[in-house]
Amino acid sequence: MLFTATTGWILLLTAALWQGVLCTDDLDVQHQPWSRYIYAPDSRTPRPHKIFRTHGKVNVHGLDVTLSPKSQVTYDFGREVGGHVRFLVNSPSSTKPLSLSFSESPQFIGEWSDDTGASPFSDWDRSLTVSIPPSGLGTSFKYTTPRESFRGGFRYLTITSTSNLTTTPVKISNVICLLGFHPGVENPQTAYRGYFWTPYDALLVRTWYAGAYTVQTNIALPDTGRFLPQVRPGWAYNASLGVVSTGAILVDGAKRDRAVWPGDLGISAPSSYIAFGPKYGYECVLNALETLFYFQNETTGTFPFAGPDTNSFRSGSKSDTYHSWSLIAIEEYAFYSGDMDWVNLHWNNITRAVEAMIGGITEQGLQNQTNTNDWAREGGGGLNSALNAVSYGMLTRLSNLASLHGDSALSSRWRVKAEELKSAFNALLWDDEAGLYRDNTTTMLHPQDGNSLAVVYNLTTSNNQKKRISQALTMNWNEIGPVTPELKDTISLFVSSWELNAHFEAEEPDRALELVRRLWGYSLDGPNMGGTTIVEGLSANGSLYYRSEAGYGYDPAYTSLAHSWSTGPTHQLITRLLGLSIVSSQGRHWEMIPNIPTGSRECVKELRGGFETKLGMFEAEWKVIGRYVQLKVKTPKGTSGKVGLNGSKAQIVEVKGDGGWKRVILRLE
Ligand SMILES: *[C@@H]1O[C@H](CO)[C@@H](O)[C@H](O)[C@H]1NC(C)=O
Ligand SMILES: *[C@@H]1O[C@H](CO)[C@@H](O)[C@H](O)[C@H]1NC(C)=O
Ligand SMILES: *[C@@H]1O[C@H](CO)[C@@H](O)[C@H](O)[C@H]1NC(C)=O
Ligand SMILES: *[C@@H]1O[C@H](CO)[C@@H](O)[C@H](O)[C@H]1NC(C)=O
Ligand SMILES: *[C@@H]1O[C@H](CO)[C@@H](O)[C@H](O)[C@H]1NC(C)=O
Ligand SMILES: *[C@@H]1O[C@H](CO)[C@@H](O)[C@H](O)[C@H]1NC(C)=O
Ligand SMILES: *[C@@H]1O[C@H](CO)[C@@H](O)[C@H](O)[C@H]1NC(C)=O
Ligand SMILES: *[C@@H]1O[C@H](CO)[C@@H](O)[C@H](O)[C@H]1NC(C)=O
Ligand SMILES: *[C@@H]1O[C@H](CO)[C@@H](O)[C@H](O)[C@H]1NC(C)=O
């Protein structure tokens, strides 16, 4: 039966009487209103969308231009792109007729590129001189940027003619970008296996697709890492990113660092799984994890802080949090892919790594943070709450993995360690007056990271405690988003991705949506944003001076505008707001338990989305009609799940998947 507005109403009014009863029907999936929100281009050689501006004497014919000496054209690709650029130069009278500069943000359009090295004068990268071989003079020369001049992320390309052009102006035509991300995907739009849709709130849909596209731009070719020591002026991206057998590797950002960072994977990996599925979204994470195993320390069993093309790696920096994040990413990959052979292959190394973390637990029952490198926050060290929340999440997950692996002794050992850690965490760090956890035992600072992670990983002892933390975290909010207490003048979209998850976990969907609208809304539409990808972080006033004083050398042009650690909404709008998530390997068991915002009765009334695992497509929809909600799910044959509503009066129905739509109608509380 086709679900139409009219019959739907009639059906619902009757169906409401037999609440909780299951029916099936077919949904017309031919029209896909969400497809137009995909930001990816439809080919690997996109042309610019338009000419953004010109300076000096420039003749414009469509997208072709003729530049007089010292003039300039800026192309806008209409979206973040990355890779190489190619164009025809006709007919150069000098071997160095032009220079190129690249920018993600409209703020840094000009003769100089935005930066991939931090400098307070934003003058690190400057520009790339176009070199024409003598044989190309006076001809129509096809120019392509050289291999090491790979530019991983930009939206604007500026071409400036040099003063050498004293005689003839130079004509530029056929400008294209040779896409350098998501290799092997002929049409990048077809890589989207997940989708998200509501007809009621375009910002939510844009946020989902911008997050997905951000991840896509971070799926890197293996030899496009930042070369060290960094060249200056200029840039060179020809270094190895890690151990890659085939395909690509998931990195932190499009423009930079272009490296494997295990903490980032906590957000970017599930976004990749949900948006791109097993065919296009798993291998890039697997290659990142293989890199971590390859560089695992033989003596200590600890994973590296970051991939080999970073300074951190060279200087031997270590991180306790990123060690536990590595293990969480390993477990999560096993969970989505179901690849137990891979787990078996690495089991000894996994065991060593878990035991290395356990070795750091003190007599007080919490892990002592001695390697304090983290996402760049200040004040790590001691019995730190964020570290212990991550490590607790890691132990519970690895305990489950040990059980799947058939090692019940280790599974219970890790479960016991986890529960001991949880009771020490509450005994030593909970501040009942504030309704928040403290950063460690010797401070009154209540961090955004430790509190968000404590809720997400269930360090709390009651739902009420989750709600109190969710409420108290809003004290950090300004009109853009949460200003993190643990790093001065900073809004982090990574930590805020965890905070978002915490509001969902606390069953505060209205607050979660408010956070998405404020922070991700600003990240898309705020001044100086690229509009199609998500920025890594901001200063408290919304400027690009992220981490100014904390490593980024007061250089806003260094900030990455396409950072996959900022994409929490891309998985959470599906797994939390829509409520469709897998609860066992590959989704053999799943849940469709949405967090329906109360504001929805006037606002987001209907939501739909889906994703793919190796078992097939999982799709769901909820629709609020008056005091009722209709839940629909479509899951692969042989799977089973729970459909319903949580809350004080939980209404849950068991559903078996058979590849068709199933429907449940429930009364809202
Ligand atoms: C052209 O100008 C640039 C700087 O503007 C200079 O480095 C280069 O040597 C000049 N000469 C030729 C032949 O390109
Ligand atoms: C990478 O680029 C740097 C800087 O231009 C250069 O020194 C190095 O030889 C290049 N490496 C490879 C493998 O091409
Ligand atoms: C492994 O860890 C040990 C102990 O901290 C350290 O001395 C050694 O340099 C590390 N090995 C590598 C390859 O980093
Ligand atoms: C990982 O496991 C392999 C095979 O058991 C072993 O050779 C290697 O030393 C291990 N690496 C570490 C860091 O434990
Ligand atoms: C944590 O380790 C540091 C360095 O070893 C040590 O100075 C400190 O006392 C330890 N803290 C706790 C709470 O055990
Ligand atoms: C405890 O946390 C505070 C606030 O983040 C920090 O300043 C302090 O250094 C930390 N204590 C230890 C022992 O590291
Ligand atoms: C979360 O913690 C509470 C209280 O300790 C416990 O009752 C509940 O089962 C935990 N939830 C999960 C999913 O482990
Ligand atoms: C915003 O914050 C940055 C970094 O703190 C600062 O440099 C800048 O002046 C501020 N901008 C405004 C308009 O206040
Ligand atoms: C539903 O509630 C149970 C028990 O509080 C909790 O473990 C589970 O995570 C909740 N599920 C969702 C999707 O919120």
What length does the chain have?
Answer: 669
Last residue of a domain, one of 521, 555, 574: 574
Q: The domain spanning residue 345 has which CATH number? A: 1.50.10.10
pLDDT value, residue 166: 66
pLDDT tens-digit profile of 115-136?
Answer: 999 999 999 999 999 999 999 9
Residues 80 and 198 placed together within one structural domain of the fold: no
pLDDT at 662 over 60: yes
- Domain span at residue 639 reads 4-31+581-667
Q: Which helix (H) or strand (E) holds 159?
A: strand 151-161
Query: What band does 165 get if pLDDT is binned at 50, 70 and 90?
Result: low
State both tokens at 639: 């799977």
Ligand nearest to the CA of 396: 7
From the alpha carbon of 594, which atom of ligand 9 is closest? 13
Q: Round to whole Å and give the CA distance between 414 and 429.
A: 22
pLDDT value, residue 669: 77
pLDDT at 8 over 90: no
pLDDT at 631 over 70: yes
Establish if 40 belongs to a structural domain.
Answer: no
Residues 57 and 95 placed together within one structural domain of the fold: yes
Return the biggest CA–CA distance within the chain: 84
Which residue puts its alpha carbon closest to atom 5 of ligand 4? 348
Neighbours of 636 (CB within 10 A): 19
pLDDT value, residue 600: 59
pLDDT tens-digit profile of 508-538?
Answer: 999 999 999 999 999 999 999 999 999 999 9
In the predicted model, what is the mean pLDDT of residues 203-231?
97
pLDDT tens-digit profile of 350-401?
Answer: 999 999 999 999 999 999 999 999 999 999 999 999 999 999 999 999 999 9
Residue entry with tokens 């891979």 = 342
Closest CA to 75 of 103, 41, 50, 101: 50
Query: What band does 607 get if pLDDT is binned at 50, 70 and 90?
Result: very high
Ligand nearest to the CA of 445: 6
528 lines ligand 7 (CB under 6 A): no
Query: What band does 314 get if pLDDT is binned at 50, 70 and 90?
Result: confident
423 lines ligand 7 (CB under 6 A): no
Residues 359 and 500 placed together within one structural domain of the fold: yes
Residues 398 and 417 placed together within one structural domain of the fold: yes
pLDDT at 284 over 90: yes
Establish if 45 belongs to a structural domain.
Answer: no
Q: The domain spanning residue 106 has which CATH number? A: 2.60.120.260
Residue entry with tokens 């401070």 = 443
State the DSSP string of 79-129: EEEEEEEEEEEE--SSSS-EEEEEESSGGG-SSS---SS--TTS-SS--EE
Establish if 71 belongs to a structural domain.
Answer: yes
pLDDT value, residue 602: 56
Q: Facing residues of 623 across strands?
A: 606, 630
Neighbours of 479 (CB within 10 A): 8
From the alpha carbon of 462, which atom of ligand 7 is closest? 4
In the predicted model, what is the mean pLDDT of residues 640-667?
93
Establish if 36 belongs to a structural domain.
Answer: no
Residues 26 and 62 placed together within one structural domain of the fold: no
pLDDT at 633 over 90: yes
Which residue puts its alpha carbon closest to atom 10 of ligand 3? 297
pLDDT value, residue 17: 33
In the predicted model, what is the mean pLDDT of residues 246-263?
97
Last residue of a domain, one of 179, 212, 236: 179
From the alpha carbon of 99, which atom of ligand 1 is closest? 5
Question: Percent of the chain beyond pLDDT 70?
Answer: 94
Residues 425 and 461 placed together within one structural domain of the fold: yes
pLDDT at 5 over 50: no
N- to C-terminal Cα separation, the chain: 29
What integer best gives the mean pLDDT of the chain? 93
Establish if 245 belongs to a structural domain.
Answer: yes
Ligand nearest to the CA of 423: 7
In the predicted model, what is the mean pLDDT of residues 622-641?
95
Ligand nearest to the CA of 235: 2
Q: The domain spanning residue 650 has which CATH number? A: 2.60.420.10
484 lines ligand 6 (CB under 6 A): no
Residues 507 and 627 placed together within one structural domain of the fold: no
CA distances from 370 to 318, 357, 380 (A): 9, 11, 9
Last residue of a domain, one of 574, 609, 627: 574
In the predicted model, what is the mean pLDDT of residues 562-568?
99
Which residue puts its alpha carbon closest to atom 9 of ligand 5? 382
| HSE-up (13 A, CA, CB side) for residue 329 | 32
Establish if 205 belongs to a structural domain.
Answer: yes
Query: What band does 599 get if pLDDT is binned at 50, 70 and 90?
Result: confident
Residues 356 and 382 placed together within one structural domain of the fold: yes
Closest CA to 38 of 570, 528, 523, 561: 570
Residues 604 and 644 placed together within one structural domain of the fold: yes
pLDDT value, residue 32: 87
Lowest mean pLDDT among 29-38, 47-56, 214-223: 29-38
Which residue puts its alpha carbon closest to atom 13 of ligand 8? 541
Residues 451 and 568 placed together within one structural domain of the fold: yes
Phi, psi of 166, deg, nearest 5? -75, -30
Residues 522 and 382 placed together within one structural domain of the fold: yes
Establish if 600 belongs to a structural domain.
Answer: yes
Angle, nearest 10°, between helix axes 493-505 and 262-281? 80
How many structural domains are present in the chain?
Answer: 3
Task: Could you list the beta-strand ranges (E) of 327-431.
Answer: 430-431
From the alpha carbon of 304, which atom of ligand 3 is closest? 14
State both tokens at 501: 């998850």
461 lines ligand 7 (CB under 6 A): yes
Residues 340 and 379 placed together within one structural domain of the fold: yes
Q: Round to whole Å and give the CA distance between 226 and 235.
A: 8
Establish if 652 belongs to a structural domain.
Answer: yes
In the predicted model, what is the mean pLDDT of residues 483-512?
98
In the predicted model, what is the mean pLDDT of residues 52-81?
97
